[in-house]
Every structure is written in structure tokens, then in C-alpha cells.
Amino acid sequence: MFKKFAKKSSNEDSISKEKLIEIEKPIKELPSSITAPKEKELSDDQEKMYIKVLQHFQDPELKIRLTEKGGSEDKEGLIDEEKAWLTRECFLRYLRATKWNLQDCIDRICSSLAWRREFGISHFGEENGDELTGDEVAVENESGKQVVLGYENDARPILYLKPGRQNTKTSHRQVKHLVFMLERVIDFMPVGQDSLALLIDFKEYPDVPKVAGNSKIPPLGVGKEVLHILQTHYPERLGKALLTNIPWLAWTFLKLIHPFIDPLTREKLVFDEPFTEYVPMDELDKLYGGYLDFTYKHKIYWPTLIEYSREKREHYLSRFQKFGSKVGLSEYDLRGNHDNLLFPVNK
């Protein structure tokens, strides 16, 4: 079960103003001072399992459902953007999540492809035809309740979640907003890193007006839907989740959803420990002991986030086309700038 930890002092009051870095936009690139950890080598058995998954999705006759729970008659072949999503690292994430069970892995990937189609995010960005757009969820972020900003010690891009800045009543659009932001923080992943960090702050913010139907803690049904999406369709994406300022109501909510949280995910949750132990000072908001003097201004931050993430997707897809538009290309090669493939695709 969840344990509470004593808070250590690490806030903006103890930071010298001379060290503060004024910032209003996302940090576009990983700083040279941070490097991603090396990937663990696969065993011979794991490599064989990976190749079997790769071969399954290389089948040109493969067809995938149009909805997560759709009938067998509603199927279509893969589009190029879906092939770009089916990377070497994608297969390995699902293999790890299914404990290297071949059929479970294949079924889970097929389910996620169908869900992405149904949710409107299968085209790799709204500029390529995604139905989920920045304009649709922009109102959800006017208070700055979710922010992509900086990188933690292991080069994971950070997504700040601030339930205390909730500005809308509970609706399915809030779920869409979270998925939209997850896709954006994935856009910001650097070469060698395919997981993200969540920094979740439950503090109340008096500058955000109260809204009728507004809930800082989501209803259990919404919480379960979000957990289903995260665990089923974003496996192995969460590298670390740091939670702070947790009120008793949030502890109650966490206990309610505890049975639905995968045991491996629980191990990645850190409660009320200083964020500075996990994030470099010059990559961390001053509210949590860092040097970033960040002020959320929606008219500046939101279009910049959209612009930067679109540029990163264009880079990714241009390299996908350069290297043959194949299923199983590596995210190392697709996110990098080198000329030759580091991970040629097996046939």
C-alpha cells in the first residue's frame, strides 16, 4: 500500500534569485549535461521473441480493427504513420509489459493500434490527419494544469500534472486532454529514452476560479478509464512519477484505484520526496526547488508546444521515410541525426 514520507524543505524561498532562469516556453532539446542510460542487451531468447513479433507486423496482408472492441469484419491494413509507431522499441515495451508472452504481446499491440484509430491519434499528429487536435483540448490547458517542461536525471521529458489548477468540469474531454499531452511529451523524448516522468502536484491554487462540476480528484470511473489507457496502451512509458502536496482526499482516491494499478507501475511512484533528487536544478520549476522561473502564459506556451512537437514529428517521419518506411525501425535512428542505421531491420 502507499506510504507517506516526511517532506524535506526544497522550495523557491531558498533559491538565490541570481540563479533563476526566466522561461515561458517548453525546453526544446535535452541539455548536453544529461545523457540517457544505456539499453540493456537482450538475451538470445528475448531476441528470438522480438523477431517473431516483428515478423508478425511485417506481414503486408495484416489487418487491424478500427475500434478497440470492434468486430472481426471491421479491419484495415496499416498506414505509414502506424508503421512509424511500430518501432523496435515499441515491440520491446509491449514484450516487457506482457512478460515476454508472444501472443499476449501481439494481441496487446493490435488492441492499441485499434484504440489509437478509435481515439483519433493514429496518424502521428493533427497535421497528418489525427482527429484529436490541439484546438479541441486547448481550453483544458488555459490554467496551465498540464505542462511539458524539462528533463529529469535519466533524460526523461517531464509532464507536470497540477490537479489544483483544474479549470473545467469533469468530462471525456479531460481524458482527451491527458492523452494529447502524453503524445506531446513522447514527441519530446530524446535519442535513447522512451519513457517519461510525471511530476504531480496536488496543491490548491487560489488564482484558478472554482468551476461548477469541477473535481480536483477525478471520479473513480474516470480514474479507471485513465489507468486502463495508461497501462494498456502506453505500457512501459512511465519511468518515474513524483507526487507531492497530497491531500487526504487524494490518498483516499489512490487507495481506491490501488487494486487497478499494475505492480510494476507502483514501484515507479515516489511520494513527497524532494523533486531535486530526481531532476537537475536547471530543468526544474522553482516551485519545487529548481532554477526555472516558469510562468504559464497560455497564448505563449500552447502554440509553442504545438509548434515544437510538430517539428519533432516532422523530423521523425522524414527519417522514417529516408530509411524505407519499414515496420521495426528503431527510435534511436528515427529521433537521431546520424546518416546510417544503427539498428537495421531484420527480415
Structure confidence at residue 1 (pLDDT): 45
Structure confidence at residue 2 (pLDDT): 47
**pLDDT tens digits for range 36-64:** 999 999 999 999 999 999 999 999 999 99
Structure confidence at residue 261 (pLDDT): 60
**pLDDT tens digits for range 143-200:** 999 999 999 999 999 999 998 899 998 889 999 999 999 999 999 999 999 999 999 8
**pLDDT tens digits for range 90-144:** 999 999 999 999 999 999 999 999 999 999 999 999 999 999 999 999 999 999 9
**pLDDT tens digits for range 205-264:** 888 887 765 555 566 566 677 778 888 999 999 898 898 888 776 666 566 555 656 666
Structure confidence at residue 188 (pLDDT): 98
Structure confidence at residue 231 (pLDDT): 85
Structure confidence at residue 256 (pLDDT): 58
What is the phi/psi pair of residue 272, to 5°? 50, 40
Confidence check: pLDDT of 310 > 70: yes
Structure confidence at residue 6 (pLDDT): 41
**pLDDT tens digits for range 313-341:** 999 999 999 999 999 999 999 999 999 99
Q: Report the DSSP pairing between strands 146-151 and 157-161.
A: antiparallel
Structure confidence at residue 10 (pLDDT): 46
pTM attached to this predicted model? 0.91
Fold (topology level) of 20-31+135-207+229-303:
Phosphatidylinositol Transfer Protein Sec14p (3.40.525)
Q: What is the mean pLDDT of residues 76-87?
A: 98
Q: Are 69 and 111 in contact (CB under 8 A)?
A: no
Q: Delimit the CATH 3.40.525.10 region(s) of the chain.
A: 20-31+135-207+229-303
pLDDT bin (cut points 50, 70, 90) of residue 272 is confident
- 211 vs 9, which has greater pLDDT? 211
**pLDDT tens digits for range 273-305:** 899 999 999 999 999 999 999 999 999 999 999
